Amino acid sequence: MTRHFLRDDDLSPREQAEVLELALAYRDDRFIRTPLTGPRAVAVLLDKPTLRTQVSFGVGIAELGGYPMLVDGRLAGIGVRESISDTAKVLGSMVSAIVWRTYGQDRIEEMAAHVSVPVINALTDQFHPCQILADLLTVAQVRRKQGGVAALPGLTLAYVGDGANNMAASYLLGGATAGMHVRIGTPASHVPDAAVVADAAAIAATTGGSVQITHDRAVALAGADVVATDTWVSMGQEAEAAEREAPFVPFRLDAEALALAAPDAIVLHCLPAYRGKEITAEVIDGPQSAVWDEAENRLHAQKALLAWLLEQQ
Ligand code: NVA
């Protein structure tokens, strides 16, 4: 059966650990496995702005021996010029996998329902699961001496900022899958989707992790091993930028906030970052920041994910 990666919990805890182990191996040797040698093509469909996503998938697919076919969503007009199901049938006859950055999660679910090659979510309004794989890889890399991927269960990951966005939802699901204690610090007006919180709690109950939603930045960050934030204005929300600032100011990741976390806490941000808004320059450019490794790890994590999904075909 074709496996897709549409949300973080499409990988079981064991499968997520396998992908992360392979990603660590790719970090050490970028050509350890080249399952797309042929070259076989992978379509990378981009409906929203992108830098890391198009470069990391483009480079990664090439390093796997394949050919990345980058498609500008404005030209393709998926769901507008032609239906998603027709697009799926056309692409499925030509490529070995489909990577898609788009708007609604329903769009990527419809694509996956009509195709027999793996579909990978490269960000939707609801989830950003490839980013969370890269984030977990970054933590495993920093904790290599303590066991790497095996060191993830039991760590506390605190995310402060917009709790209603794709990153918060993916931290909940992906962090719970990894057996972490995930805390979301967010204003009451921007809480995560209740169904996602329930799903994450159910996963956490099986992995030894936990999930907590709090409206107090200090509660979220107290003693945390990993601290993360994200923009207050996600792609598609640009028109609301002015009113999206005030509610999040108390959840800014500044030096005072970071001091509440564990002394060796690592700082993550998926980028692009807005210094002085959700994070201060002192924190993102400071000694605890792992954001450049985190960005590079998109490449290694996605290569491992693609290789793993292709193996299940
Ligand atoms: N929440 C952000 C993530 C960017 C990688 C957005 O959707 O724009």
Q: Is 10 in the pocket of ligand 1 (CB under 6 A)?
A: no
Percent of the chain residues topping a pLDDT of 90: 100
- What residues act catalytically? 101, 128, 131, 230, 270, 298
Per-residue pLDDT band for 45 (boundaries 50, 70, 90) equals very high
CATH topology of domain 13-127+295-312: Rossmann fold (3.40.50)
What mean pLDDT do residues 2-7 have?
98
What mean pLDDT do residues 93-109 have?
98
CATH topology of domain 132-292: Rossmann fold (3.40.50)
pLDDT for the residue numbered 299: 98
CA of 234 to the centre of ligand 1 (A): 5
Same fold, 13-127+295-312 and 132-292: yes
pLDDT for the residue numbered 217: 98
Q: Whose CA is nearest to atom 6 of ligand 1?
A: 234
Per-residue pLDDT band for 146 (boundaries 50, 70, 90) equals very high
Per-residue pLDDT band for 171 (boundaries 50, 70, 90) equals very high
CA of 86 to the centre of ligand 1 (A): 28
pLDDT for the residue numbered 218: 98
Between β-strands 226-229 and 67-72, what pairing exists: parallel, antiparallel or unpaired?
unpaired
Q: Which atom of ligand 1 is least distant from the CA of 235?
A: 8
Per-residue pLDDT band for 241 (boundaries 50, 70, 90) equals very high
The domain limits of the chain are 13-127+295-312, 132-292
What mean pLDDT do residues 268-277 have?
98
Q: Whose CA is nearest to atom 1 of ligand 1?
A: 234
> Is the reported ipTM for this assembly greater than 0.90?
yes
Q: Is 121 in the pocket of ligand 1 (CB under 6 A)?
A: no
